[in-house]
Each structure stands twice: as C-alpha cells, then as structure tokens.
C-alpha cells in the first residue's frame, strides 16, 4: 500500500475522489511524508496537470487550501467544458455514435488564463462555504488571502 500511496495520481478521478483515496493511503505513508508541507506537495504533484499548474502557482502550501482551490479549478473547467459544448449530444451508453457526435471528455487541457478568468467569475457568482475558509494572511475565517480586506503582511 505504501507503493500505491507514492504512485497515486488523480488521473480521471474527481478532486474529491482523489483526496479521499489520498487520505486513506496517507495513514500508511512513511513518517518522513507526514509533515504538512510534504503532505501538501505530494497531493499537489498527484493532481491532473491542468489543475496542478494553477495550484503550484500559489505562494502558500497549506493542504486544506490546496484542496479547496483544486476543487474550484476543477469546477470551473467542468463548467467551461459544458458551456462550450452546449447543444452537442453526449453519449447515451451506445458504444457506437455513428461519427455524428463528439465523445464526452470532461477533463481536457485548457488555456490556463481562460480557466483562471472563469475561476474568478465562478468565485464571484457562487461563494463556497465561507465559514470553513481561512485567510492565511491574517488567519481569519470567511475569506481567502486574495480577498482579504487588510493589506498583505
């Protein structure tokens, strides 16, 4: 199982499914992997490339915030995919589509700048459960650092 932990990658799993499996395997991880920064780094490096690139760009490496941001990015990418493909028939379980419709591929690589803009718009329209969000800048609940009303430390 230790080998499985060290080789775990998100692949086609959702961020939530990947996080759940990661945490199940984390309990049997070597002691050297159990420091918070190492735990976070390993989690981030196992994310799908289109999500990992956004999370790697963050200054902080806090496990729970990395998960939250990965979820927002994944949601943004999914919304963007469905918006672009609105009106295109999705597979209905038949193995043959006659070549007339596109196959469903929810996790394709996207333009990172466009995904970041979509993420920002999604965050403004739909605030996630803010009582669980913590600002790493001043350690206050209810917002993240980039939305902090106080100046950056």
Encoding tokens for residue 148?
């902090």
> What's the pLDDT at 95?
47
What does the pLDDT look like over 83-134, one tens digit per residue?
A: 888 766 555 554 444 444 455 555 555 555 555 555 555 555 554 555 677 7
CB 53 within 8 A of CB 119: no
More confident residue, 12 or 142: 12
CB-facing half-sphere around the CA of 74: CA atoms within 13 A: 20
DSSP 8-state symbol, 150: S
The DSSP code sequence of 51-73 is HHHHHHT-S---HHHHHHHHHHH
What does the pLDDT look like over 15-73, one tens digit per residue?
A: 999 999 999 988 887 777 778 888 888 899 999 998 998 888 776 678 888 899 999 99
Q: Is residue 7 pLDDT above 70, yes or no? A: yes
> What's the pLDDT at 86?
77
Domain spans in the chain, listed from the N-terminal domain onward = 2-87+106-147
For 42, the 3-state DSSP assignment is helix
The DSSP code sequence of 74-110 is HHHHHHHHHHHTTTSPPP-S-S--TTSSPPP-TT---
End-to-end CA distance of the chain: 41
> What's the pLDDT at 83?
84
Beta-carbon contacts of residue 17 (< 8 Å; ≥ 6 apart): none
């Amino acid at each position: 199982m230790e080998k499985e932990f060290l080789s775990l990658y998100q692949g086609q799993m959702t961020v939530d499914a990947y996080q759940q499996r990661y945490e199940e395997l984390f309990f049997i991880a070597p002691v050297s992997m159990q420091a918070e920064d190492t735990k976070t780094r390993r989690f981030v490096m196992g994310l799908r490339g289109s999500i990992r690139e956004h999370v790697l760009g963050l200054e902080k490496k806090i496990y729970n915030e990395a998960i939250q941001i990965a979820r927002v990015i994944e949601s943004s990418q999914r919304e963007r995919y469905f918006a672009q493909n609105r009106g295109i028939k999705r597979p209905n379980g038949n193995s043959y589509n006659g070549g007339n419709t596109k196959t469903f591929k929810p996790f394709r690589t996207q333009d990172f700048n466009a995904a970041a803009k979509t993420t920002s718009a999604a965050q403004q329209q739909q605030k996630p459960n803010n009582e669980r969000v913590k600002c790493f800048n001043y350690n206050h609940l209810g917002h993240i650092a980039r939305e902090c009303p106080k100046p950056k430390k």
